[in-house]
């Protein structure tokens, strides 16, 4: 166990305590439970997917989330660095230069589908919500974790969740399942140029 991870002796009670705060314990339990839920749902989804590119994305994300889960469990239970550092998630065959903007008529309003109508569009939306939720949960927890190793493992994994969400967004947008509305050009230009940089303050 690294020097900064040694258990600390409580001088009043003589009991041994580790450098995990109570809030941290709750947050990490919530993250790990959420990751288990995501893995189980991905396992259910994969057998129902039809689009082969989406199948590949689901398989790739499942394996990556599983590895991150194992890393966090190891760091959390031992207080030591996991077996390997945080890997960087790589998207599969998605081109962010070809985002389709605008709303197409006829695709709204939406309504819930019956179970026999659940398709790749629905499932990719479920997957997107799962990875976005995990990234948000980790970002909040990383500001509360006191254990330096666990904090770093969680913080380093946040960009991967963002990348997985972006990959799913790109697939959904390309296939017409995620529309991106835009303001008109005049309004967009006005908002883009509504802020200006400021010179450093003089001391």
* Helices 52-78/22-46 angle, 10° precision: 150
Q: Report the range of poorest mean pLDDT among 9-18, 126-135, 143-152, 194-203.
A: 9-18
200 exposed, middle or buried (CB, 10 Å; 0-12, 13-18, 19+)?
exposed
Q: How many CB atoms lie under 10 A from the CB of residue 186?
A: 8
- Per-residue pLDDT band at 59 (split at 50, 70, 90): very high
CA 11 to chain centre: 41
For helices 120-142 and 22-46, angle between their N-to-C axes, nearest 10 degrees: 170
Whole-number mean pLDDT of the chain?
88
Q: Which helix (H) or strand (E) holds 9?
A: strand 8-9
Residue 103 has pLDDT above 90, yes or no: no
Query: pLDDT value at position 22?
Result: 82
Cα separation values, 135 from 98, 176, 181, Å = 25, 24, 24
Q: What confidence tier does 105 reach under pLDDT thresholds 50, 70, 90?
A: confident
Helix (H, G, I), strand (E, B) or coil at 86: coil
pLDDT for res 125: 97
pLDDT at 18: 63
**Helix, strand or coil for residue 203?**
coil
Task: Judge contact between 76 and 150, C-beta under 8 A.
Answer: yes
**pLDDT surpassing 90 at residue 133:** yes
**8: part of which helix (H) or strand (E)?**
strand 8-9
- pLDDT above 90: percentage of residues in the chain: 70
Domains defined along the chain, listed by start: 22-92+118-175 (1.20.1260.10)
Q: In the predicted model, is pLDDT for residue 91 greater than 80?
A: yes
Q: In sequence order, what are the residues at sequence separation of 6 or more whose Cβ sits closer than 8 angstroms to the Cβ of residue 132?
A: 161, 165
Tokens of 160: 């991967």
Measured CA to CA, the distance from residue 196 to residue 191 in angstroms comes to 11
Do the Cβ atoms of 142 and 154 come closer than 8 Å?
A: yes
Q: Above 90 in pLDDT, residue 122?
A: yes
Q: Which residue has the higher pLDDT, 153 or 80?
A: 153
């Amino acid at each position: 166990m690294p020097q900064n991870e040694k258990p600390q002796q409580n001088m009043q009670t003589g009991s041994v305590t580790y450098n995990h705060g109570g809030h941290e314990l709750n947050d990490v339990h919530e993250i790990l439970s959420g990751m288990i839920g995501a893995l189980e749902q991905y396992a259910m989804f994969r057998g129902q997917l039809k689009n082969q590119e989406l199948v590949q994305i689901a398989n790739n994300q499942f394996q990556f989330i599983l590895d991150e889960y194992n890393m966090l469990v190891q760091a959390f239970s031992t207080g030591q660095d996991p077996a390997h550092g945080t890997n960087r998630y790589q998207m599969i065959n998605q081109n962010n230069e070809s985002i389709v903007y605008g709303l197409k008529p006829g695709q709204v309003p939406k309504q819930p589908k019956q179970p026999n109508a659940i398709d790749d569009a629905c499932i990719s939306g479920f997957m997107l919500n799962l990875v976005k939720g995990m990234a948000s949960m980790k970002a909040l927890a990383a500001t509360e974790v006191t254990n330096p190793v666990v904090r770093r493992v969680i913080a380093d994994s946040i960009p991967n969740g963002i990348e997985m969400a972006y990959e799913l967004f790109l697939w959904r947008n390309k296939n017409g399942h995620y529309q991106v509305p835009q303001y008109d050009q005049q309004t967009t230009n006005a908002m883009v140029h509504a802020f200006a940089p400021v010179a450093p303050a003089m001391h």
